[in-house]
Amino acid sequence: MKKHPHALHTVVKAACATLALAGFVVASNAAHAADAGNGKVLAESHNCAACHGPNLNKPVSPEYPKLAGQHADYIYWALRQYQMGNGNPHLGRNNAIMQAQVQSLSQNDMKDLAAYIESLNGDLVQKK
């Protein structure tokens, strides 16, 4: 019995397509859709307004940043850097208060917080 010369090629292509699709499904399921509602709960429970002010837009001191309206990606990575600490000066941020605030947060919690902060109206000015 002689097999068609393209049969193996077809089987390999089908197997690769199946693996690629399976990888996409796994990656899609692993992705976390940020929940701004949970972010609001986290911001309140961690008392972010104590330093960053009402609506996270009026800090109690000039050295604290206005957060309201900041890009979620930036907020998420800033929180991750505080969580990593200053063990690696290229990755971590050194602020004892913020490091203590974020230690109990999961990465999904930080994404939720970031989504909430981005949803707030703030005084941040973007260059055009």
58-70 pLDDT per residue, tens:
999 999 999 999 9
More confident residue, 10 or 39: 39
Average pLDDT score, the chain: 82
- Look at residue 6 and tell me whether its pLDDT is greater than 70: no
45-54 long-range Cβ contacts below 8 angstroms, 24+ apart? 46/101, 48/101, 51/97
Q: What one-character DSSP code corresponds to residue 3?
A: P
User: And the tokens for 28?
Assistant: 């899609």
Task: Give domain limits for the chain.
Answer: 1-31, 34-119
User: And the tokens for 42?
Assistant: 């986290």
Of the chain, the end-to-end C-alpha distance in Å amounts to 70
Spell 1-36 as b/e; 16+ CB within 10 A means b: eeeeeeeeeeeeeeeeeeeeeeeeeeeeeeeeebbb
User: And the tokens for 36?
Assistant: 């701004």
Q: Which CATH architecture has domain 34-119?
A: Orthogonal Bundle (1.10)
82-102 pLDDT per residue, tens:
998 876 667 778 888 999 999
Work out the average pLDDT over 25-45.
80
Nearest residue to 73 via CA among 115, 43, 38: 115
